[in-house]
Structure 1
Amino acid sequence: MSNSGLPADVDEIMDLIGSWVEMSGYLKWNEQAKIKADMMNVRHRWSSSRVSSETLRGKCQAIGLVDDETTKVVEWLHAAQEGRQLSPHGSYRDFRFNQEPTP
């Protein structure tokens, strides 16, 4: 676990997302699709036993997401943890971040 309170793999992913946001100033549609796809394709990475909404919210704010973007990401987390489907853009449907989930 890092200082953020997130597992190392999720923390790295969120740092990557933060670098994307820093470059463009916002969370673009394709970046949103990648997050949703990973939440669907690697559900165990985002399980409630590993990632709490409060901790993820704090990390989203720390990496520069605005309130609306943070709310979206946390809502996607809740949906994934509840077993609901997220609908990433078709070209990103099979996307997975390279970071291996840590125990």
Structure 2
Amino acid sequence: MHELSITQSLVDAVLDRTGERTVTVVNLRIGPLSGVLADAMRFCFDIVSADTPLAGAQLRIDEPRGLAHCKKCGEQFELTDLIMLCPCGSADVEVLSGRELMVLSVEVA
């Protein structure tokens, strides 16, 4: 479960910016094509943030849709997993969104 190390890095990055101030909310964006499971990060966040100024903070995760454009037929379609095939059967696609893994904002008390 690599989400544990990613969550630890997230907590470390937030602490680097906020110091000892109490953090109340962390807003993330995790796309379905990022390879990171949002539910696993939610689980890990409570464990990793314990005994830090982030303890008890709310983790809000925006989960945008994965979208791609087919270079063969020109259609735009949704991607729900890492199998990047257009409904027409072409694998010549450009990913438009869904790979995001970012901190959007942090709220402190």
**Into which bin does the TM-score normalised by the smaller protein fall?**
0.3 to 0.5
- Structure with the greater alpha carbon radius of gyration: 2
Bigger fraction of residues in helix: 1
Bigger fraction of residues in strand: 2
- Relative contact order, CA 8 A, sep 6+: which one is greater? 1
Q: TM-score, normalised by structure 2?
A: 0.35
